[in-house]
């Protein structure tokens, strides 16, 4: 490659590097997408905040009011019972009343 070819190759690589840097900074300035919160996370947060066992109706009401999460009763009961039966996260203290496992 002659001197002009080397010079042009160098200029091209510098320009590409600058564009990559600009793109990286622009991406950093853009708002990051809001991470979705799972139903499990919402129910856990509700129970942590309450500090006591709650009936499923109370859990759903607090989740809606405090977290803006519209939970389906059957879905919540289903996953809470699955987690409870697996020995993780939740315990049942009364019919349809749950608390966090300590």
Residue 85 has pLDDT above 70, yes or no: yes
Mean pLDDT of 69-78: 90
Residue 25 to residue 27: CA distance in whole angstroms:
5
The phi, psi pair for 98, rounded to 5°, reads: -130, 155
pLDDT value, residue 98: 93
Q: Name the token pair of 44.
A: 């856990």
Contact 64, 44 (CB under 8 A): no
pLDDT value, residue 28: 73
pTM beyond cutoff 0.95: no
What is the average pLDDT value for the chain, to the nearest integer? 87
Mean pLDDT of 68-94: 89
Provide the residue ranges of all domains of the chain, joining segments of one domain with +: 1-32, 39-100
Q: Name the token pair of 102.
A: 């300590």
Asked if the 39-100 domain carries CATH number 2.50.20, the reply is no
Question: What stretches of the chain adopt beta strand conformation (E)?
Answer: 54-55, 90-94, 97-100
Mind listing the pLDDT tens digit for each residue in 11-59? 999 999 999 888 888 877 665 555 667 888 899 999 999 999 999 999 9
pLDDT value, residue 51: 92
């Amino acid at each position: 490659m002659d001197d002009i070819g080397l010079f042009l190759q160098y200029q091209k690589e510098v320009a590409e590097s600058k564009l990559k840097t600009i793109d990286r900074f622009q991406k950093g300035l853009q708002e990051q997408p809001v991470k979705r919160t799972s139903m499990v996370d919402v129910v856990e947060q509700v129970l942590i905040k309450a500090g006591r066992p709650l009936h499923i109706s109370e859990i759903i009401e607090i989740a809606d009011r405090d977290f803006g999460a519209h939970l389906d009763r059957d879905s919540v009961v289903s996953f809470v019972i699955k987690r409870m039966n697996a020995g993780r996260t939740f315990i049942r203290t009364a019919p349809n009343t749950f608390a966090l496992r300590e």
